[in-house]
Structure 1
């Protein structure tokens, strides 16, 4: 089957579609460059949680729990305060019940489509967001930067490359996560009980009542420790923050459907020093294994920058990482 890459529509929203072999994927430039669909059309698998026609209005209002949203800076910041280089940045408090800023600015922004092309071995799209003094995001993140997302689809699955460059004259924060919403189950006819996942988690950060880290670790429960070897994604409600502990040189989540013997692998790359795992109160149907560069609220935590992923880019510097979603079985 020839590879295809073209601009089209997803549930009424402008989209770029990629097709290769049995797979198809769709990304929404106007809603945060969200990779909203990744499917095996031959077997009927839908690997990511999609809003569908009926859910588009709710998705546009809150585009954080479908597909692969880009969080920059990710997760929560105490009171919206973000100390950086002797300055205090002020973010809007958009989680008023806890008094935090949540999830940054990129997942709701409109991105530009830089290129769409089908090659012999891959269908590919590159999306870009350039922030400078003329962009609305600059009011909160007063740095000039460019971020690009490249998605490639082939018979080997879905490849994601993220690339950030500091275009300005001062050191800028480079704090990033993906709030990836994985369907569990992803195959027709399977149930929550058929699903097992494992992830390369290390230690669990202790969180306070506002879901901000205390700077301390807490012991893993016996059931939680089984995440390293295989556990139900819905064994208990999870909104848990962990260090990443790569195994065999890889930092990944694996989701296995035991009924059909098929495994989805989410290999995120070792630049992500943390995992956030959220399962929507263990209701079933989907969960979010979220690779994250930094500790939640990192600029406000008094721990060594290297330990908590408090990463910055000097003028002209680049940061990039490549992740992949693929199937075994």
Structure 2
């Protein structure tokens, strides 16, 4: 079922099936600000109390879309011999989280077909100059107890561009009663400003660990395939599994001070500051789109309760 509703006076889309119900605001980043497990009636995401709360803290509400994800050091990088400058919007030094998470997206398709509920939105970029002619098509599908996220990035312009995409997905997480698992093969070493040094250290996957009073703002390299973050609440019996395809080569995990009732497993196709790293694309995940080319990446959230 698809309904057009209002959230604090803003146009929103509510989509639901027998298992899940989502609420999206196309005019603000196409952000899915709510995902409800209909079996239990419980909210799974950090949902803003108001539209003002969403705009004041867009990264810790719902599923913000990051293009590109995380930081570009000093907001500057060189591509094809040209120096590019992104706006400085973090600690007066760096660019962070890209250009689409708070922008209006156009709704291009809504349908219910063979039990699958689909909402499709698109954004066409004009700024910054390197992304003039870039477009992103975002498709959300409710299929049983699974919410699928598909993003297609296309270069409609005349010049190639480097790119990466990610999601700052903010899940509610009861630290006292929940465990967290994550597939990862190594951890990126970071500076005090959360910029990767280029070095990695080996690390085992996280398996049903407690995050209580365990603050995380860390970056990890994912496996080539089969990557997922799993949040299990022992009290409610609910398990949320966030899976990615092989395009997502990295995770950033953020949970504030470990006592705030949330965790953000952030899947990234490229690591933080990949635009400036003197490493191979196989390591950083940085991609290049030539004029006329497009690329599609997929994630999904499965809820079992």
TM tier, shorter chain? Answer: over 0.9
Task: Determine which of 81, 94, 97 is the counterpart of 1:100.
Answer: 94
Is the aligned partner of 1:231 residue 2:220? Answer: no
| Distance in 2, Cα, partners of 1:28 & 1:234 | 32
8 Å contact kept, 1:70–1:179: yes
Shift of 1:139: 3.4
Shift of 1:293: 0.8
TM-score, normalised with respect to structure 2: 0.95
What is the DSSP-based 3-state SS (H/G/I as helix, E as strand, rest coil) of the residue aligned with 2:153?
strand
Equivalent position of 2:199 in the other structure: 216
Equivalent position of 2:268 in the other structure: 292
Is the aligned partner of 1:242 residue 2:237? Answer: no
8 Å contact kept, 1:90–1:140: no
What does the per-residue CA deviation read over 1:50-75, in whole Å, with 9 as the maximum and x for residues that have no partner? 0123xx31311331111110001110
Query: Aligned pairs, how many?
Result: 305
Is the aligned partner of 1:69 residue 2:64? Answer: yes
Equivalent position of 2:177 in the other structure: 194
Equivalent position of 2:169 in the other structure: 180
Shift of 1:23: 1.6
| Distance in 1, Cα, partners of 2:291 & 2:255 | 38
8 Å contact kept, 1:195–1:256: yes
| Distance in 2, Cα, partners of 1:144 & 1:277 | 32
Is the aligned partner of 1:86 residue 2:81? Answer: yes
Shift of 1:147: 0.4
Is the aligned partner of 1:25 residue 2:48? Answer: no
What stretches of structure 2 of length at least 5 have no aligned partner? none
| Distance in 1, Cα, partners of 2:128 & 2:304 | 45
| Distance in 2, Cα, partners of 1:16 & 1:183 | 21
What does the per-residue CA deviation read over 1:103-149, in whole Å, with 9 as the maximum and x for residues that have no partner? 11110111001112222311111000012xxx3xx235443111011
What stretches of structure 1 of length at least 5 have no aligned partner? 186-191
8 Å contact kept, 1:274–1:293: yes
What is the correspondence of 1:1-329 to structure 2 with a 5 Å cutoff?
A: 4-53=1-50, 56-96=51-91, 99-131=93-125, 135=126, 138-185=127-174, 192-218=175-201, 220=203, 225=204, 228-245=206-223, 249-329=225-305
